[in-house]
Every structure is written in structure tokens, then in C-alpha cells.
Structure 1
Amino acid sequence: MCNLYTSTTNIEALRQLSRLLDRLADRAFFNEESFDVYPNRFGPVIRMVEGGPEMVRARWGMPSPPSMLQGKDFDYGITNIRNTVSPHWRPWLSPGHRCLVPVLKFAEPDPARKRPGERTPDAWFARPDGRPFFFAGLRTRWTGKRLAREEPATHELYAFLTTASNALVAQVHPKAMPVILTRDEEIDIWLRAPWDEARHLQRPAEESDLIILPGEKDRPKLP
């Protein structure tokens, strides 16, 4: 599953992806061209509020099901969400909890090639024209401990949906890929439509929407 991607807060580039983002505010603490995002670190997400679209910093990893915590008093979080029929995810499927996760490229490890202790991504995927796109994300505000060494705090959290791999991603990771939004109508549906309509976006991207980046198999190891 995807546990590393490169994001952007280039406001003008993101505005060009959807008419809904025309009013996306240009804030001084954003507007970076690109940066890598890792689990339980901070990345930008776009949510809809009463005044229009808003970009905020959030921590990657939605609350885990209680059964996965095994008595721990901290929750590292779930980064990829597949089973949207689970009662655990049901409270966060409404438009008020959906968000867009800006992406320039994402990494997928090949399970067949992974050796014990190895965390180096095998391939990176991007749009053929290099433009940004979005993962279909879910978000919430949560209070608790994210790491054992941290004190409880209130966090803005997010994760994104995954689905079956298309033929291109399956060359590297056959089980799953992120749910990708590239078209204006998809973005509109994801942010504003009821779940009965939005759930149909949980599908593999068209193969023509992605390429495997050449020379990207030797990117730096994850920390």
C-alpha cells in the first residue's frame, strides 16, 4: 500500500484542477512546490467549509479500529482505507468528513521483492504531464496520543481510500492502489455528493492517467 507520496501546496496549480477550487485561499504558510509526506507526519488537505474550499495541515493516519490497538494508549493511525462498508469508517463517509489530498507522485512497494526490514519503494507513479492530482481522502478531528512518547493532543487527521490496482500499478503492487481524482466532475462529486453517489469513485484509475517514473526505483529509504 502507499505509505509515501510527494505533495504540493502550489495554490495556483491546485486551483487549475477544479472550478470548485477557484476560491482556494493563498496562505503565507503554504505554497511549497513539493515535499515528501510519510505516515503520521503532516501534509496538506483541502476540505469544504461554509466559505468555500480551505487548505489545512493534517496528520496522516485516521483513528484505528479499537481491535487493532491491543491495549496501547496511543494510536499511530490508519493511512489507507479500503473497507468502506465497515462500521468503523461509516461516521466519516459524509461530505463534511471528505477531503482532497494533493499529490504529485506516489510510491508503491513490491511485496514480492521486499526483504525483512527493507522499506525502500520500488516505483513511483505520476500523471503523464506532471500535473498534480488528488487522492480521495477522509478527515476528522481527534484527541489522543499519536506516539507513546507524546502527550494527548487534539489533531486534524486524514487518510485516503484505496481500491484494486489497475494493470499499470499491478506490475509493482498487485493488491491495491490509492483512489485517484483527476477530473473536475470527480472532485465535485467527492466533495459534495451523498455517499451513495460518491462511493462509485472508489475504483482503479484509468491506466492512461498514470505513468511509472523512470529512474525512481532508487529513491531514498523511508525514515
Structure 2
Amino acid sequence: MCNRYRLTAKQAEVAATFGIRTPYEVEETFPIGDIFPTGKKTPFYGAVVVQDGDDRRLERMEWGVPTQVPSKRDPTVKLTKYVTNVRNLSSSFWRSMLTTPARRCLVPVTSFSEYGLAPGEDGKKPLHWFDVPSRPVFAFAGIWRPTERGNAYSFLTTEPNFLVSPIHPKAMPVILHDDDYARWLTGPWNELEPLVSPYPAQLMRLE
């Protein structure tokens, strides 16, 4: 599960990568540095790219779509869980967003992290970072929806490739190729399911 990633590119680079106009200063980053999941009491935000008619825009949203889950102590009690990674694509909750192009988004990224399986000498699991050297800014396949606190997003995961699997064998984010951006934002879902696959390991780097 990826619960920490970075977007350190300047506004101008993000805008050029995704074909958007940005209202921010070209030397600013948005948001700055590492991005963490939102919390019940303290919201945390990331930047996503959404389709707006014939244009695209950059929007600030909470990272973590709220959903109700049964309490482990008392299944009759519902608790709010903020879901950051989506793997169960057959769920009706997620399919309502996946099958609606207006509810899909691109999540700009410069690198993402996964914790290792075994603790290091300090007793803590090491944090490993991955990027795509040929693409300083790339994108996860994201979905979003309105919530009581504003718009919130999550991104899809899939089985890991051979670079990620030794560190995190359960999953990795779905990284889109540049020429799939328009399809993800506007295409019919039945044509997009093949995009939910591991990104080629030979194109990635373990920092």
C-alpha cells in the first residue's frame, strides 16, 4: 500500500506535462514535498488533474476517499475509513467512479515510497523510494468524488512488478503512460481496464 509520495516539480513543469494552465507562480510547487493520506481530524491534500470540458485543470483535493466500514468490536457500528489505494475494482462503490469519466483524475507524482518487509538495525522498516528516470513527472490512475469536507481522491493499485515486489509484494500504484492520459480522463471504462497493470520495471528506478 502506497501511503506516501512526492510531487516536487515546479508549477510550470506540471502544467507542461499534463497540458494545463496553472494559476500559480511558475517557481512554486503544489503541494510542497511529501504528500500523506488525509486523517479524520486533520485533512491532508494533494494535487490532481481533472478534465474540464476541452481543457484540464489542477485541483487541490484530500487524499483519501471516506467510506463506512463495520467496527471490529461491534459490526453494527459504522466507522469512517479514508481509502487511499483502490484494488477491488469490482466493488460497486468504486465502479460508480471508474465508469464515470468525470470522476477519474490523474495524480501527478515525482516519486513514491513503500516500506520494506524487514526492520533495519534501528528496529524500523526502511522506506524505499521509486521513480521513473525518463519521466520527471508521471501520473497515477486516480478517481475522486465529492464529500462533506470537499473533494477527495484515491488511486488504483495493481500487482507489483519485479522491481517493487521484493520490497512490497502485495501491490504497487497504477502508473499511466503519457499517451494514456486522455484515455483515462475521457474513455469508456471497458476500454481502460487493461491499463490497470504493472508499469514496466525496466523503466523505473529504486532510489
How much does 1:8 deviate?
A: 4.0
Task: Confirm or deny that 1:128 pairs with 2:133.
Answer: yes
Larger RCO (alpha carbons 8 Å, 6+ apart): 1
SS in 2 for 1:208: helix
Report what 2:165 is aligned to: 170
How much does 1:91 deviate?
A: 1.1
Task: Confirm or deny that 1:113 pairs with 2:118.
Answer: yes
Q: Which runs of 5+ in 2 are unaligned?
A: 39-43
After TM superposition, the score normalised by the length of structure 1 is: 0.78
Contact residue 65 and residue 88 of structure 1 kept, 8 A: no
Structure 2 letter corresponding to 1:92: M
Q: 2:203 aligns with which of 205, 209, 216?
A: 209
* Structure 2 CA distance for aligned equivalents of residues 25 and 80 of structure 1: 28
How much does 1:168 deviate?
A: 0.4
Structure 2 letter corresponding to 1:171: P
Equivalent residues in 2 for 1:187-202, closer than 5 Å: 187-202=181-196
SS in 2 for 1:167: coil
Contact residue 9 and residue 102 of structure 1 kept, 8 A: no
Equivalent residues in 2 for 1:93-112, closer than 5 Å: 93=98, 94-110=100-116, 112=117
How much does 1:109 deviate?
A: 1.1
Contact residue 3 and residue 39 of structure 1 kept, 8 A: yes
- Mark the CA change 1:190 to 1:171 in structure 2 (over 3 Å): closer, same or farther: same
* Higher fraction of strand: 2
Structure 1 letter corresponding to 2:205: I
Report what 1:147 is aligned to: none
Report what 1:155 is aligned to: 150
Contact residue 44 and residue 101 of structure 1 kept, 8 A: yes
Report what 2:21 is aligned to: 25
Report what 1:220 is aligned to: none
SS in 2 for 1:188: helix
Q: 2:180 aligns with which of 186, 200, 208?
A: 186
- Mark the CA change 1:79 to 1:188 in structure 2 (over 3 Å): closer, same or farther: same
Contact residue 108 and residue 173 of structure 1 kept, 8 A: yes
SS in 1 for 2:83: coil
Range moving further from structure 2, 56-65 or 96-105 = 56-65
Contact residue 70 and residue 78 of structure 2 kept, 8 A: no
- Mark the CA change 1:76 to 1:14 in structure 2 (over 3 Å): closer, same or farther: same
Q: 2:65 aligns with which of 62, 65, 76?
A: 62
How much does 1:76 deviate?
A: 4.3
SS in 2 for 1:89: helix
* 1:134-162 residue CA offsets vs partner (Å, 9 max, x unmatched): 0100011111xxxxxxxxxx311000000
* Structure 1 CA distance for aligned equivalents of residues 93 and 124 of structure 2: 28
* Structure 2 CA distance for aligned equivalents of residues 121 and 134 of structure 1: 24
How much does 1:120 deviate?
A: 5.3
* Structure 1 CA distance for aligned equivalents of residues 25 and 126 of structure 2: 29
Report what 1:146 is aligned to: none
After TM superposition, the score normalised by the length of structure 2 is: 0.84
